[in-house]
Structure 1
Amino acid sequence: MICNKISHSSSNKGAILKFYSCLLISLIFCLFIQNSSRAESLKNKEPIIFTADEVTNDDENNVIKARGNVEISFENNVLIADSITYNEIQDIVIATGNVSLLEPNGNVLFSEYIEISGDFKSGIIKNLRIRLSDNARIAATFGRRTNGNRTEMINAVYSPCNGCGNINEGDPLWQVKATKVVHNQEKKQLEYYNSWMEMAGVPVMYMPYFTHPDPSVKRKSGFLTPSTGASTYLGSSLSTPYFYAISPSKDLTLTPTLTSKENAFLSGRYRQHFGNGELDSTLSSTFDSDNEFRGHVNSVGKFDINEKWRWGFNAHRSTDDTYLRLYKFPSNRTLTSRAFIEGFGSNNYLLVDGYSFQGTAVEDDRGTTPLVVPTITYNALGEPNIYGMRSSWEASSVVMTRSEGVDTRRMSIHGGLTRPFVSKYGEIFNFSANINGDLYHVDSLKRATYKSNFTGFSYRLSPKLEGQWRLPLAKKKGSISETLEPRASIILSPYGGNHDTIPNEDSIDFEFDDTNLFGNNIFTGYDKIEGGPRASYGLKWGLIGDNGGHTSIFLGQRYRLKADSTFIAGSGLEENLSDFVARLNIFPNKYLDILYRTRLDKDNFSPKRNEFQTTLGPDALKVSANYIFFSSQNDQFSGREELSGSLFTKLNRNWSSGLLGRYDMKDDGDLRNFSVNLDYECECFLFSTSFKREFYQDRDIKPSDTVLFKLTFKTLGDVQTNL
């Protein structure tokens, strides 16, 4: 036990009060151990800590009184009051005046009068106020506690609104009133009897009974808030999810959905954490009005084997192309399934994986969609030797099979040496020598110059020497630093290498811009290579402010000794001199950010490709715009010209609104989608409404309008409807 004493006017008085404080603790402790059952329950409990300014003892009535800054701590309960009276015979503590009781779960009870048992487990409270651990409030005219885990409150009001959104000091934005509220701490829930919800002081809904978890509960089994919706295909719909907390590490959500135009469908989501990994799976199924089975699976898993190895998978499949979009599940144009295992070393990396694809666009052909199993990639980086040279190696292989069309098998080994160097003038050099070897075996490869398909082996060996140079220069003037950096590279490699017996699976499309001007292979994959001697050069100028703002501009070009038929017309690389590529970036502060990329014709500087992105303004009014234009380069990928933009405004602390649109400027032009939203959010409530127009059409998918209303009562749940 600990006896403490607070602020006394004299040493004698202090000694007397300290004596009585210790005596009170001793009496309470002795009273506890006199009762055998009580002694058994308390023998392993924490000691009582007691402080007060003044203590008196009525020996005749066995009553101890404490006044002034009284505080009692017992088993993580802390009782504070102006005065406390303890009746030893009845084992009752009566606290009056500015009473507060802090419970171990973080809840705090306030009152002017509390009558509670000596073990703090039972009692009555008048004019009760409770602040829960999540800062929600409960007020009641009367409260009764029993067994230390059940508090019954009469004429109670519950609300988590503590100022944000309150209409006035008397009426929170929303509150729940009930003739009786029971806080069952054993079940960890709040139960309301004969209750009604008020918005801004106006009753809006009556509920004979409802319950919700208390703040100590992070997840609990039960029905979630139903949601309604509407669409052209499904008609009106009603979804009622059920959440099942199987264990602390796994849960299941089942959502049956009724629709007015189609049969009901069921979706489920299962999540589990295994300690060394996690699994997240979503499935759905239904029989449509034509009695055809439709459904999908989307499952993702990732698991650590040890500190250096891990494996994982994702499976994404649908029974048909339009199911996911019609039934409002997340969807991509291509559904990708993958399994992998990978290992990490200090200077090396190994990846073994496989892919399967499902195209959902009308032009996708499942017969020509490849199954890619397996792919193997190994990378290794050597340590610098005594000459400062560092080696790097990459080995890879892939097997691609199709039910219709070409089958491809490839093995590649790429290796090289790199030697960086910095001159005494600040010039940065990087010299490298590389050799790439590729071996292919194909079945039924179509060739443009032959009527018959090719089946057999082919190989390619491509050596390469490269030298890079750049000279970063900087000058400081006041708070601005000016930078200038000329840059150049020369690559020597043999011409050719793209024979028609080598398939092009992974280098079908590319875009020539400032990001790959100085790359040693402008193609992103393995199947096509860039051959022949060539030089790239460019100049970058910039300003950097001490406040973090910066502006830069870059202009560059590539020169080849002779034209290369590998590059088709319109690519910008089909002649000796390439088109110019440029980039402009302006970021003076956080309120303005502009990025502009372009490719300009080398002869007349007409734009062949434009990409513009900007964000302007503070949160009060922020505008963003994106524009992209590029001309067609081949038959597989058409040109594109598109404009998209958004406007966001934060009207005040609680209200915000936004606009979003996308416009296809190609040919006759067409608005692709448009949406507008209005949101209100405070600490206890979220209101969101939006309108969205989709102009997309694909088989049984038609243009549609969606109106969303969502009300979120924080700590209770949300109500959502789509029209």
Structure 2
Amino acid sequence: MDSSRNLHSRWNCKFISFGGRIMGFSKCIGSQMLEKIYPKNIFTFKLIFFLLMTGLNLVNANTSYAERNQHFHENVLLFADEVIYDDKKGIIKAQGNVEISQAGRIIIADSIVYRRNNDELSARGNVTLMEPSGEVAFANYVKLKDQMKEGILDKLLLILNDNSRISANSAKRINGTRTEMNKAVYSPCELCPENPDEPPLWQIKAMKVIHDLKARDIAYRDAWIEFYGMPFLYTPYFQHPDPTVDRRSGFLAPSYSNSSSLGFELTTPYYWNISPEKDATFAPSFYTDGGAVLSGEYREHLGNGEIRISPSITYTDKLDDDGNEINGNEFRGHLFSDGHFEINDIWEWGYKFERASDDTYLRRYRIKSEDTLLTNPYIEGLNGSNYAAANAYFFQGLEENDDQGQIPFVFPLAEFSHISKPGWNGSYRTLKTNLMLLQRLEGTDSRRFSIEGSLHLPTKSKGGHLWTGSLNLRADLYHVNNVINRRDPLANTSSGLTGRIRPTALLEWRYPLIKRQKTVNHILEPVVQGIFSPYGGNPVEIPNEDSQNFEFNDSNLFSKSRFTGLDRLESGPRINYGIRYGAYGASGGRTTALIGQSARLKDDDTFGLGSGLEDHYSDYVGRLMVEPSNYFSLAYRFRLDKKTIEARRNEITLRGGPDYLKLHLGYALLDEQLSEVETSGFANREEMVTSVVSKFTDFWSISADLRRNLTGSGGTVSWSSGLKYEDECFLFVTKYGRTFTRDREVEPDDTLIFKVLLKNLG
């Protein structure tokens, strides 16, 4: 075979090239030899070919490691069914399942021609270009050079990282970081599978689209935004970040609303990417009947913690309690902030800050509907079984009858608890201390130190009986000022030192009975608990600051003390008894139930009328929880009169349904209950809350909710309904609702909210 024929023969072989020259080869067989071994048209070899794109000299043994890395990085890796190599002209032609890669870029095509001397590559037929960034381009024809960083593309389809697409008649690549596309269309929307020729939900058509990989921007010149192929909005220039950008400064999607009290509203948020550790959002809102409100949020991560600040301010007309304008203007606003920081593996600290200029500002501008604002700095530490914390609490009352001078502030509230390691026969000890300083500008002050030690002994006897015994001693020392006598409010107030010492013994017996079946396991457990402590312990000189929110229910049936705080003690010998039941299915479903009662030798006037604990025998309390599957759950909690079995407290929560129809129903009945200092109580409270959400297609859903006061003087509190469409590229939300509550200038209000978001644009 002569040399010229050898240079142009077809090869099916492996060879390695370095520095522009062949360094070695293996299994290199000429096509004439293959024809002798295998019949024509049935044998195809895969060729793997490394070739340096720049004309470098042969690298000798003295070439440095860094230089070799550079050379190999510039090499080309080629896969093909057939290759024609002309070494004199420096031309490589490959066809049939061609795949070529260099510097992280990969091209797949039916055929390619590579001219080594001027580093030029052209590809035809089903061309696919994959970038190191993850983007994929499809074209009919591609011509590239300079390590595939420069070139032109014909009939381009570009798929970005988030699966959005740009199609163009032609495109030009510049330095591997910039693609300029002519007569291009951008859309992140999927095409309809039934009608793929139809235009997407929305798209941007532009005479020129520039994708700058270095700046990570996509810019449009002379562009139209279209919906279902119909022009909607023209812009001479438009720009948004490409999908590789996690966050960047710019305007966010605006929102629109209309309410009967504030008029039309437009909110145009702007996001400011200050640095990788901090950012901010400015969200000015403009109302036709409420002026302008400047609001925002600042967020920062500080390495050992994070902080968030949310302020707002407006300068508007003064209003009286009926919402009527009076002479003059005023500043109104609020400031919320919270932070959390780690000191070390044990200690952390943080704060929550809430403050408003006046009582009704937050509700008028629909910022928050709470009736009390809380400021709470804290520090806490956890080390094994030791826990310590210190808190301060400052409150701002927002109700009409709140007197800020009589609202307490607590500084500090410190506590420590310790649980020892198990000792003899599993016994263990606990220690708790508590320090509270509560002050008012007007009224009662209370300073308290409490210490409590306990010894616990859990054990199990023959037959599976579980016993728990504990001995407890608690001491409380108070220094108080201006304490009103709860039994005789007209008597003189008390001031000075007071205190108490309270020993308590507890013995609890449980006997869990288990029955196992193929698909369900049953557990039935009777529980009896005896508590022995002296009578009394709640003298009139000790104010009740932290135990007012008392409610007898299933969660505290077997508690040593049913009060939420330390200012009140449950006294006297008493016994608590009940029975628990649970059924647990093999597929994950479960049903649990509890019912029980408490009995005492003597009445305890610490519990007010209607509490369910004021007599020798308490009301019955219990719960029923049913959750057979992920599509249905029922929770029922109750308190039944001990004599008539009438409901004194009912709470029902029902959730169920698949995505196309989800229902939530909540019902609550709370009977009249007096505290220890009240002579007349509130009327029965009865309320219902219900909501339904129906996702009736893959993208459309509707919702509705209703809250109603069911007492005689009640009525509808609020209701709303909404419509939502959301797919991979578009979000549309509208909601209409009405509130019926009134608080001074805040009147019943109708509100319509409207929001449209073109996803992927920022």
TM-score, normalization: structure 1?
Answer: 0.93
Matched, 1:677 2:722: yes
Q: Contact 2:259 / 2:752 at 8 angstroms: preserved in 1?
A: no
Paired residue total: 709
The one-letter amino acid paired with 2:721 is: V
Return the offset for 1:687.
1.9
CA distance in 1, matches of 2:303, 2:432: 33
Greater shift in the superposed pair: 303-312 or 218-227? 218-227
Is 1:376 aligned to 2:403, yes or no? no
Distance across 1 between alignment mates of 2:197 and 2:235 = 25
2:241 is matched with 213
Return the alpha-carbon distance in structure 2 between the equivalents of residues 229 and 31 of structure 1: 71
Distance in 2 (CA, whole Å) between partners of 1:686 and 1:187 is: 27
Match of 2:388 in 1: 350
- 1:429-468 C-alpha deviation (Å, 9 max, x unpaired): 1101111111111111111325222111110111100001
Tell me the CA shift for residue 638 of structure 1. 5.0
Q: Give the whole-Å Cα distance in 1 for the aligned partners of 2:596 and 2:452.
A: 28
Question: Which 5+ residue runs of structure 2 have no aligned equivalent?
Answer: 1-13, 35-43, 60-66, 319-328
Aligned to 1:721: none
Residue identity opposite 1:30 in structure 2:
L
Contact conserved, 2:376 with 2:391, CA < 8 A, in 1? yes
Matched to 1:12, the amino acid is I
Q: Deviations over 1:71-124 (max 9, x none)?
A: 222221112212111223432111111111111111111112111113222111
Q: Tell me how far apart the structure 2 counterparts of residues 27 and 475 of structure 1 sit (CA, whole Å).
A: 77
Q: Indicate whether 1:359 and 2:403 are aligned.
A: no
Spell out, residue by residue over 1:330-353, the C-alpha distance to the aligned partner (whole angstroms, 9 max, x if none). 342211111111111011011011
Pair 1:243 & 2:288 matched = no
Contact 1:540-1:554 at 8 Å conserved across structures = yes
Match of 1:445 in 2: 483
Q: Is the 8 A contact 1:2 1:50 kept in 2?
A: no
Call closer, same or farther: CA 1:20–1:443 in 2, change over 3 Å. closer
Residue 439 of structure 2 is aligned with which of 398, 401, 410? 401
Q: Please tell me whether the aligned partners of residues 52 and 75 of structure 2 are also in contact (alpha carbons under 8 angstroms).
A: no
Uncovered stretches (5+) of structure 1, i.e. residues with no partner? 34-38, 718-723
Q: 1:30 aligns with which of 52, 56, 70?
A: 56
2:139 is aligned to 111
CA contact (8 A) 1:164 1:682 kept: no
Q: How does 1:140-539 map to 2 (within 5 A)?
A: 140-163=168-191, 168-290=196-318, 291-448=329-486, 449=488, 451-539=491-579
Instruction: Report the 3-state secondary structure (helix = DSSP H, G, I; strand = E; otherwise coil) of the residue aligned with 1:325.
Output: helix
Deviation at 1:617, TM superposition (A): 2.4
1:12 pairs, out of 6, 24, 29, with 29
For the residues of structure 1 that align with 2:149 and 2:362, how far apart are their CA atoms? 55
CA positional deviation for 1:483: 2.7
2:7 paired residue number: none
Alpha-carbon spacing, 1:41–1:538, altered in 2? closer, same or farther (3 Å): closer
Partner of 1:579: 619
Other structure's SS at 1:220 match: coil
CA distance in 2, matches of 1:313, 1:545: 44
Which one is further off, 398-407 or 644-653? 644-653
Is the 2:47–2:80 Cα contact (8 Å) retained in structure 1? Answer: no
Q: Contact 2:53–2:147 (CA<8 Å) still a contact in 1?
A: no
Structure 1 distance, partners of 2:706, 2:242, is 42
* AA in 2 matched with 1:173: L
- SS of the residue aligned with 1:652? coil
For 2:589 and 2:435, locate their aligned partners in 1 and report how far apart those are by CA, in whole Å: 45
Equivalent pair of 2:165/2:188 in contact (CA under 8 Å): yes
> Match of 2:641?
601
Cα shift at 1:669: 2.6
Report the more deviating stretch, 537-546 or 131-140. 537-546
Q: Secondary structure at the match of 1:292?
A: strand
Is 1:96 matched up with 2:113?
no
Aligned residue for 1:654? 699
The structure whose Rg is larger is 2
Distance 1:27 1:435, change over 3 A: closer
Q: Residues 259 and 616 (structure 1 numbering): CA distance in 2 closer, same or farther, change over 3 Å?
A: closer
Which SS does the other structure have where 1:289 is aligned?
strand
**How much has 1:237 moved relative to structure 2?**
2.8
What letter corresponds to residue 164 of structure 2 in structure 1? A
CA positional deviation for 1:18:
10
| Aligned 8 A contact 1:21 1:55 in 2 | no
Cα separation, 2, equivalents of 1:521 and 1:91: 85
CA distance in 2, matches of 1:575, 1:143: 87
Q: How large is the Cα RMSD of the aligned pairs?
A: 2.7
**Distance in 1 of aligned mates of 2:168 and 2:46:** 39
Amino acid at match of 2:341: F
> 3-state SS of the aligned residue for 1:48?
strand
The residue type paired with residue 530 of structure 1 is E
Quick check: 2:580–2:592 contact (8 Å CA) kept in 1? yes
Letter in 2 for 1:378: F
Is residue 137–residue 157 contact of structure 2 (8 Å, CA) maintained in 1? Answer: yes
**TM-score under structure 2 normalisation?**
0.88
| Cα contact 2:258–2:753 (8 A) shared by 1 | no
Given the superposition, is the C-alpha separation of residues 32 and 457 from structure 1 closer, same or farther in structure 2, using an over 3 Å criterion?
A: farther
1:81 aligns with 2:106: no
| CA pair 28-57 structure 1, distance change in 2 beyond 3 A | farther
Query: CA 1:310 to 1:44, structure 2 compared with 1: closer, same or farther past 3 Å?
Result: farther
d(CA) in 2 for partners of 1:606, 1:225: 54
2 CA distance for matches of 1:475 and 1:242? 62
CA contact 1:2–1:49 (8 Å) conserved in 2: no
Q: CA deviation at 1:32?
A: 12
SS at match of 2:95: strand
In 1, the alpha carbon distance for the partners of 2:91 and 2:359 equals 81
SS in 2 for 1:313: strand
CA distance in 2, matches of 1:568, 1:337: 31
Within the candidate set 697, 705, 710, 2:750 is matched to 705
Q: 1:373, 1:213 → 2: CA distance? A: 49
Q: Once the two structures are superposed, what CA deviation does each residue of 1:122-180 show, in whole Å capped at 9, x if it has no partner?
A: 11100000110111111000001112211111111111112479865432122111111
For the residues of structure 1 that align with 2:146 and 2:70, how far apart are their CA atoms? 11
Percent of aligned pairs with the same amino acid: 41
CA distance in structure 2 between the partners assigned to 1:107 and 1:200 by the alignment: 26
Shift of 1:646: 1.3
Structure 1 residue 59, shift from structure 2 partner: 4.7
Say if 1:532 and 1:3 are closer, same or farther in 2 by CA, change over 3 A: farther
Q: Contact 1:167 / 1:173 at 8 angstroms: preserved in 2?
A: no
Return the alpha-carbon distance in structure 2 between the equivalents of residues 61 and 47 of structure 1.
19
Q: 1:596 to 1:688 in 2, by over 3 A?
A: same
- Residues 32, 186 of structure 1: alpha-carbon distance in 2 compared, 3 angstrom cutoff: farther
User: What SS does the corresponding residue of 1:412 show, helix, strand or coil?
Assistant: strand
Tell me, in whole angstroms, the C-alpha distance in 1 between the residues paired with 2:236 and 2:46.
55
Q: 1:376 to 1:262 in 2, by over 3 A?
A: same
Q: Retained in 2: the 8 A contact 1:3–1:18? A: no
Bigger mean CA deviation after superposition, 337-346 or 473-482: 473-482
